[in-house]
Amino acid sequence: MNTHPGRKANALLRACATALLCLAGAAAGFAADKPASSIPADHLVQPAQLASLLGNGTTAKPLVLQVGFRKLFDQAHVAGSEYAGPGSSDAGLQLLRERVAKLPKDTAIVIYCGCCPWSRCPNVAAAWDVLQGLGFTAVSVMYVADNFGADWVDKGYPTTTGTGTSGPGTSGK
């Protein structure tokens, strides 16, 4: 039997390197799938609070961005909000980055999804992380306990339907 200690060492090093790469990839995947509950509670806004803020003619309105799925935005969304791409995809997060690229870092921004119960939302935490990573200091997330229909539409808060497009002033009428 022809065994060489150098070959065994190289094989062991390759196996260790492969294992580390797999672990790093898995960790990156877990980071991208952070739960909505990872967003600090002091940055959450209740639907009633947002509706009141948007209906108050004396205060400046935040930029409201829907970071969920396009089909849901087209069906119904917060009046005046813009579609900013799903936070669960790289393309959606890129659309979000592009939308906020020229804004001052202290711009008041509220993001929301509403696709499903808060505990299962695949979109808001990643969008929150992107905005935080870009240095935005006035970001809030609308807490949608069950879904957008139950927590916003059914309560009679201002809603718009239609496709619209992303970008300033395109609320999708």
Alpha helices in the chain (DSSP H): 5-32, 47-55, 70-75, 90-100, 124-133, 148-151
On whether residue 171 sits in a domain, the answer given is no
What pLDDT, on the 0 to 100 scale, is given for residue 3? 53
Domain containing 150 equals 36-160
What pLDDT, on the 0 to 100 scale, is given for residue 162? 83
Co-location of 15 and 61 in the same domain = no
User: Number of folded domains in the chain?
Assistant: 2
Q: What is the mean pLDDT of each run of 10 residues along the chain (173 residues)?
A: 51 39 36 83 98 90 97 96 97 98 98 96 97 98 97 97 55 37
Co-location of 26 and 61 in the same domain = no
Tokens 């959450």 correspond to: 44
Co-location of 1 and 60 in the same domain = no
What pLDDT, on the 0 to 100 scale, is given for residue 4? 55
What pLDDT, on the 0 to 100 scale, is given for residue 72? 95
Q: What is the pTM of this model?
A: 0.77
What pLDDT, on the 0 to 100 scale, is given for residue 66? 98
Distance of CA 100 to the CA centre of its chain: 13
Residue 161 is classified by DSSP as -
Co-location of 86 and 8 in the same domain = no
Sign of CA pseudo-dihedral 23, 26, 32, 38: negative
Q: Please give the Cα distance from 9 to 52 (Å, whole number).
A: 66
Q: Please give the Cα distance from 33 to 122 (Å, whole number).
A: 7
What pLDDT, on the 0 to 100 scale, is given for residue 172? 37
